[in-house]
């Protein structure tokens, strides 16, 4: 079964880095967004095709916490993994309150990415 992913990060490099870490056809990036506002729009467009959202916390135009809350209002069943930097504990607490299901701390390995997806999608 393929895990279908919405990848949200304001860094093109980071979106490419995460996408390239997905090991095989059982993980598919269905859509990407450069900010939280676009993430909500993309989720609305592709809701039936998304299982997991990988969401950066710190972004312009609706940060990841606001976008997480908005997406969870649309669909409580979607799983959201927050991507954050070391030392962002307060923001992670806010993300959890907004509905985040898991987290991924930068810097991370390819294995960390897959593990974070698998933990929320199992």
The string of DSSP letters for 65-120 reads: HHHHHHHHHH-TTSEEEEEEETT-HHHHHHHHHHT--EEEEES--HHHHHHHHHHH
CA distance 107 to 98: 23
Domain extent at residue 35: 3-121
pLDDT confidence bin for 86, thresholds 50/70/90: low
CA distance 92 to 81: 11
* Tens-place pLDDT, residues 66-81: 999 999 999 999 999 9
The number of distinct structural domains making up the chain is: 1
pTM of the model: 0.92
CATH number for the domain harbouring residue 107: 3.40.50.2300
Q: What is the pLDDT of residue 36?
A: 95
């Amino acid at each position: 079964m393929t895990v279908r992913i919405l990848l949200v990060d304001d860094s093109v490099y980071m979106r490419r880095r995460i996408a390239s870490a997905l090991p095989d056809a059982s993980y598919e990036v269905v859509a990407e967004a450069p900010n939280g506002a676009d993430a909500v729009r993309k989720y609305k467009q592709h809701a039936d095709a998304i299982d997991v959202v990988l969401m950066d916390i710190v972004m312009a135009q609706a940060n990841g916490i606001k976008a997480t809350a908005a997406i969870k209002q649309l669909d409580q069943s979607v799983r959201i993994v927050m991507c954050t930097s070391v030392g962002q504990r307060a923001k992670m607490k806010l993300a959890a309150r907004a509905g985040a299901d898991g987290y991924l701390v930068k810097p991370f390995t390819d294995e960390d990415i897959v593990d974070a997806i698998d933990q929320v999608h199992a």
